[in-house]
Amino acid sequence: MERALAVVEASESAKNLVREAGEFAAGVGASLVLLHVTTTEEYENTRDSLERISALETSYTAGQALEGARQFAADIGREVLDGVDAEYEPVGRIGDERDEILAVAHEYGCDHVFLAGRKRSPAGKAIFGDRTQSVILDFDGAVTVVTE
């Protein structure tokens, strides 16, 4: 492993995943990319909510959302990798989680992906799709999945 991608979310299992990924990367001398994806729906909902506030004279741009996602990844990295000798780069993206995970992994030359799995029923997976399964099937490298 030379470079790994860890998907950052606001759950305790995702924080544990980032710590494990950092320790693993440090142990093998690899670098780590921390990715937080703000979905298009989340971005649009936040933008629409802010636009409804008449006293607010500014708008919520895609650039601000990207920087917010990058900053979230950086904050989680500082929080959970304190004391771990791992080099990491925070990255933020807006879009479909699966597509952005695969795009960033390719863009940064990652050979390993770490992500937190979500518990869904078989019917839920069939109706809504399963991000984890898609990444496992479409990523050309190792994928480590941690569930709660």
User: pLDDT by residue (tens digit) across 4-39?
Assistant: 999 999 888 889 999 999 999 999 999 999 999 999
Instruction: Please list the alpha-helical segments (H only) found in the chain.
Output: 12-28, 40-51, 62-80, 97-107, 122-128, 131-138
pLDDT at residue 124 greater than cutoff 90: no
Cα–Cα distances in Å, from 100 out to 6, 7, 28, 29, 34? 12, 10, 26, 25, 12
Q: What value does the mean pLDDT of the chain take?
A: 89
What was the pLDDT predicted at 127? 44
pTM of the shown model:
0.88
CATH class for the domain made up of 3-146 = alpha beta
Higher pLDDT, 51 or 148: 51
Domain extent listing, the chain: 3-146
pLDDT at residue 100 greater than cutoff 50: yes
pLDDT at residue 57 greater than cutoff 60: yes
Q: What sign does the dihedral 137-138-139-145 (CA atoms) show? A: negative
Return the DSSP state at 82: T
Higher pLDDT, 55 or 111: 111
